[in-house]
Chains A and B, each alone.
Chain A
Amino acid sequence: MAQPIIEIKNLIKKFGDRTVLDGVHAVIPEGKITVIMGGSGCGKSTLLRHLIGLHRPTSGEVWVDGKNIAGLDEPGMNDVRKKFGMLFQGSALFNSMTVGENVAVPLKEHTDLSPEIIRIIVRVKLELVGLTGFENFMPHEISGGMKKRVALARAIALDPKIVFYDEPGAGLDPITASMIDRLILDLSKKLSITSVVVTHEMKSAFRIADQIIILQKGKVLQVGTAEDIQNSTNAYVQQFIQGEPEGAIPFKQTSEAYLKGLLDT
């Protein structure tokens, strides 16, 4: 495996007295695509938010590019963040700006490039995600899939070393979703960008992943290549990739437990 660019050591996060991440250990290799999977509410987005410094760990360490970001102050964190791009679950485009202005925001804020050069870069980035000619549209005038692609163009505007994707394919038709997968692969292979992708889509995960991390209840259940995961003997992992409602994790509680639960309250 390549050099690790991110190392998570015994990461614990509590919201109040609820433990959401319960001692996560993980290594993310440089220049590869790592996919994080797991059931809804198992803490995937929370883990991602720790990697970009939006949450501070309750305890544990997060090493990004040689720095423990758990101990960094805001200015230090901002230096690390300039190497990141992040694609949010809901795109998070700025609704009062046009598509072009959205992509230009990081360029205007963090470089001293002239407006003409910025305009050219914006056009190149939009071309890269297949949205040539959409500079002057407002976010509410384009579809959800197009918003995701604009958000991706914005995320890679500064040529980051690492791009994080929170459910890039969620809510998209299969063709658009596989197009986004294609983009992720292209970025990773051609520009050797490290990608960390949170997803539910089994097919897309197996298509793009160099490494898959499966989370369950705030812990890492299994790590391996797509093949390792497909051949896993772990009952939960099998149930998860087959997408079966019955199995190691029951969809319903047993009827006794259910009855007891009803009567208890």
Chain B
Amino acid sequence: MKETCGKVGRTTFLLLAGIARIWELGSEVGRFFLTSFVRPKTIPRETFFRQMVLIGIDSTAIVSLVGAAVGTVLALQAAYSLKTFGAVMYTGSLVGVAMARELGPLIAAIVICGRIGARMAAELGTMRVQEEVDALTTMAINPVRFLVLPRVLALAIMLPCLSVIADVMGMLGGYLIGITGLGINSYVYISKTIDALVLKDIYTGLAKSFIFSILIALVSCHQGLTVSGGADAVGKATTQAVVISIVLIIVVDCLATAVIYYALPT
């Protein structure tokens, strides 16, 4: 019993300390971002554009694929249940709302977490181990500004875009199943989808996705920069980056949904 308490206490402490460090990194990035309005050179352009391409272009296919698959499954499952109420034609509304509010941002975030978060942690971790980060410091170049800032910005721009792609692909997947497999009229499906969706669904989804992007980038960069040791430490940091980001994404998603749909006035 005592042991369990000790363990829980220690874990909680580590968790809080970790969050505090990520917060610290985040505020440093924030400061540099503000500086960049006065001094545009603050943002290292090449890295920024390279990351945008890496995240945006190279991940579009996989995000589309997963988005479409989830939309399809969702339509099949929804129709199966809705049939009992004779409401199969509402499949489109359900898929549309679920994708825009929840699944699109979440799917994009999780795919990107595995693809880009892991990569950031491994890349920065290797740089730390091979003294590249020290080399930056000795050149009087702040590693947070040079390495973390462009990654956070690139992800913050690209993840919301990707989540819109996931939304659209999910709805498309649902639509195709709806009109072919479920026999819903194409016009009915589309009009039900449009009726159900309101602007709020879209922008809350985008806001969430923006928050997720900051989380993924900060956690992954932090894991990478704090590596100490050799190749195994880099491997560990990479795994940690993905696990911690996914847990944080889910937790923040719960909180954000609770706040947006229950605490805020409608």
Listed in ascending order, the chain A residues whose CB lies under 8 Å from chain B are 52-54, 78-79, 81-82, 84, 86, 88-90, 92-96, 101, 105-106, 109-110
Contacts and interface: CB of A to CB of B under 8 A. Distances in A.
B140 A88 contact: no
Given A89-B131, A90-B130, A96-B123, A52 B141 contact: no
Nearest to B139: A106
Contacts of A86: 135, 138
A90 B146 CA distance: 21
B138 A95 contact: no
B132 A95 contact: yes
A218 B165 CA distance: 60
24 contacts: A53-B138, A54-B137, A79-B140, A81-B137, A81-B140, A82-B140, A86-B135, A88-B134, A88-B135, A90-B130, A92-B130, A92-B131, A93-B132, A94-B132, A95-B126, A95-B127, A95-B130, A95-B132, A96-B50, A105-B141, A109-B139, A109-B146, A110-B139, A110-B140
Interface in B215-257: none
A81 B138 contact: yes
Interface string B46-70: 1000100000000000000000000
A contact face: mostly helix, strand, loop, or mixed: loop
Given A92-B132, A93-B132, A94-B132, A52 B139 contact: no
A59 B44 CA distance: 36
B163 to A, nearest CB: 27
A166 to B, nearest CB: 9
Interface of B: 41, 44, 46, 50, 123, 126-127, 130-132, 134-135, 137-141, 146
A31 B130 CA distance: 30
Nearest 8 A-B pairs (CB), nearest first?
A92-B135, A78-B140, A81-B140, A92-B131, A86-B138, A88-B131, A52-B138, A106-B139
A110 B141 CA distance: 9
Given A88-B134, A92-B135, 9 more contacts: A78-B140, A81-B139, A95-B130, A95-B132, A96-B123, A109-B139, A109-B140, A109-B146, A110-B140
Contacts of A78: 140
Contacts of B41: 109
Contacts of B127: 94-95
Contacts of A82: 140
A86 B146 CA distance: 18
Contacts of A52: 138
Contacts of B139: 81, 105-106, 109-110
Contacts of B131: 88-90, 92
Contacts of B130: 90, 92, 95
Contacts of B140: 78-79, 81-82, 109-110
B25 to A, nearest CB: 15
Nearest to A52: B138
- B137, B138, B146 — most chain A CB neighbours (10 Å): B138
Nearest to A112: B41
A122 to B, nearest CB: 15
B43 to A, nearest CB: 12
Nearest to B146: A109
A106 B140 CA distance: 9
Contacts of B50: 96
A54 B141 contact: no
A203 B137 CA distance: 32
A58 to B, nearest CB: 19
